[in-house]
Structure 1
């Protein structure tokens, strides 16, 4: 007589995952996680991690979960950051930031805001025959567009880029010890330095906008929806300012850089997009799926005991939603590691899901669209400089560290 038995897979390898490995190339361990343990506790992160599209979407939209900020994110942003609060506070913060980001409002000013910025940066190098697009174009256009929208015209673009880089390193300093402490406390120093500089810069502007409201996002955050003569406390809005100066600053820049890197990997598709700018939005959508800028930076926490994907989670269990992994789920996308402009237009999770989905989806997509329109119009013969590799970095936030290009002048 024979009996059928199954042996639980050996998941001890999950304990060997390191932050260095995740930052360099999270796709390898996450591919294995999707296959063997799509919802699993990852010791180095001190949290359960969701890696498939189905599980990420289920948790993001479930009434049994609410938003929570990761420990490193909470240490970086403080409370109440819009990405990690719920209930009345979340509703108030969304009501504070969303009016300026509604499509009808964005359509009114987006072209006049972004196109001159893009043309200005292009003018600095379009006759040089070569450039490094991340530092010379993608990131500057992204930070300048959002900086001007926030009211930070006086802050140099390089300083805005420095702030989001320091905040990013702090936010993704996620390694935890077995006893739940941060493995690298020094990793928050740069983020603290950036926040001190931000407050020193923004406090005088807030003082001015309290007395003299202006048509800037931060001024509206202070005043909109408040009783006459009252404003929101600056301590209340600063955590969300930090969220914007990190996530909203980096997302369009890294999204367009990843889109370009993807197109360079498929020269025929690059040529099609250059010849037909109407394809740019589709190219961006695939670029955001291919390398999601906000790769694994959001989390939820269970509000009661719940079972997800066969895993029992007690109340109060945090789960990191790895949207970058979900966007490479072979159960949804064929050959997901390949950039493919002509992939069937399936929805992706680069902007999240549920009531904490990114409020700036429309704004970010149009910043990227306008910037790429201007780039391809000015330099239609753009090619990747193959003497330099394209290296990507990041686990929480991810994008090319550099993108060297050349063209005949």
Structure 2
């Protein structure tokens, strides 16, 4: 495949594994364009992706990204990188990133995640009860989506009645929708979060957002901009990653009856199976955008300073140089090594929560419905219109 004319387009979204495999045949790095025309370089190999995820020569400063995008596209690109929801640790470099991560870690601890298990089990049971008796439910809408949005909203202290709004806003913000629609969703989410943070400051409760509002480290606090952006990041990341991990994992099992039988016969395999789901068909397609602070060599190609970089997590996790028979689901494969949650300083802070939710959700689903099967031909399933997330629009299943 020649990459000069290649765009991260509908074909890439609907079958990223096939597209990345063809790209890889032509070399480890290629010039491509995003749908709105932004020129980038895409990297597909495991070793290169893992190294670049932790390479300080690749930066994420949001302000500089605006300047670079404007210069490359010949128009004001500030609306692509607006400030309202982007001043968080995922879009920052040290020392700002170090400071932000340290403050968040004080509120988002392993103990916080561990104590959520009974509530996650309770929510899961309720959702499975609601599915029982339905002929061909959509597992995304009826299970994979409501579980993590309920958990993260409760963790942050967000009212139940706003969950549908957050799902809608998140879907739009991470999609390839028109710029005007993305801006409208961002403004609506921003307005609500500003109001919510003001309430948490005046009347703190026992929730993560109240902890963030009042978290300090040697007298340091999150600014108002940072609080809003950090709440957005935790909400969207805590929701989106888990929705897609659950749905993609269930689909992978239903398409591999031998692997499904193994997990059913030995539930102790489930933790390792979750890692295999993350490797095989992870919830994130491309790592969030980075740019080069100086020349960077990848596979014999020198990428100049000031270039945007796309790192294919799906491609890295199916690299035959790293994983034997990578296109085959194998729940007995030695766990770990994948980059589904990233690598380096930007490794997903919510990874333990996503793993816990997926283990409980998929385990209870298989236990409750031993006759679970796909209710649609796999080739008819559609993937969400997004460069970033890799998630199903729907997953019709038969329960018996």
One fold, TM greater than 0.5?
A: yes
| Aligned match of 1:152 | 158
Helix, strand or coil: the match of 2:178? helix
SS of 1:297 mapped into structure 2: coil
Structure 2 unaligned spans of 5+: 70-78
The farther-off stretch of 30-39 and 76-85 is 76-85
Summarize the Cα distance change of 1:68–1:231 in structure 2 as closer, same or farther, 3 Å threshold.
closer
Determine which of 89, 98, 102 is the counterpart of 1:95. Answer: 102
Whole-angstrom CA distance in 2 between matches of 1:372 and 1:298: 27
Offset, 1:134: 0.6
Partner of 2:388, secondary structure, is coil
2:392 maps to 1:400: yes
Distance 2:213 2:396 in 1: 41
State the 1:273 CA deviation.
1.5
Q: In the alignment, which of 197, 206, 210 is matched to residue 197 of structure 2?
A: 206
Give the CA deviation at 1:226: 5.8
Q: Distance in 2 between matches of 1:354 and 1:226?
A: 22
Whose radius of gyration is greater, 1 or 2? 1
Residue in structure 2 matched with residue 86 of structure 1 by the alignment: 93
- What secondary structure is seen at the aligned counterpart in 2 of 1:40? strand
Equivalent in the alignment of 2:41: 48
Contact 1:327–1:348 at 8 Å: present in 2 too?
yes
Question: Hey, what's the Cα distance between the residues in 2 that align with 1:334 and 1:390?
Answer: 27
Distance 2:332 2:387 in 1: 27
CA change 1:333–1:73 in 2 (3 A) is farther
Q: In the alignment, does 2:252 pair up with 1:252?
A: no
Alignment of 1:8-407 (within 5 A): 12-44=2-34, 45-68=38-61, 74-75=81-82, 78-107=85-114, 109-169=115-175, 173=176, 187-225=178-216, 232-386=222-376, 389-393=380-384, 394-407=386-399
Corresponding residue SS for 1:15: coil
Q: How far did 1:231 drift?
A: 5.5
Change in Cα spacing, 1:281 to 1:258, as seen in structure 2 (3 Å) is same
Quote the Cα distance in structure 2 between the aligned partners of 1:213 and 1:226: 18
Residues 241/359 of structure 1: CA separation in 2 closer, same or farther (3 Å cut): same
Contact 2:253 2:259 in 1 (8 A): yes
- Which 10-residue stretch deviates more, 319-328 or 112-121? 112-121
- Shift in CA distance, 101/367, structure 1 to aligned 2, threshold 3 Å: farther
- Structure 1 pair 13–47 and aligned structure 2 pair: CA distance change class (3 A): closer
* Deviation for aligned residue 1:73: 6.3
Equivalent residues, number: 381
Provide the C-alpha distance between the structure 2 equivalents of 1:252 and 1:76, rounded to a whole number of angstroms: 26
Conservation of the 8 A alpha-carbon contact between 2:8 and 2:33? no
Q: Which residue of 2 aligns with 1:182?
A: none
TM-score normalized by the length of structure 1:
0.85
Per-residue deviation, 1:61:
1.9
The 3-state SS of whatever aligns with 2:131 is coil
Q: Does structure 2 conserve the Cα–Cα contact (< 8 Å) formed by 1:248 and 1:360?
A: yes
Deviation at 1:233, TM superposition (A): 3.1
Deviation by residue 1:16-69 (Cα, 9 ceiling, x = unmatched) = 435222222222331122221212221344111111111111111223333356
Tell whether the 8 Å contact from 1:140 to 1:158 is kept in structure 2 after alignment. Answer: no
Question: Does the 8 Å CA contact 2:52/2:58 hold for their aligned counterparts?
Answer: yes
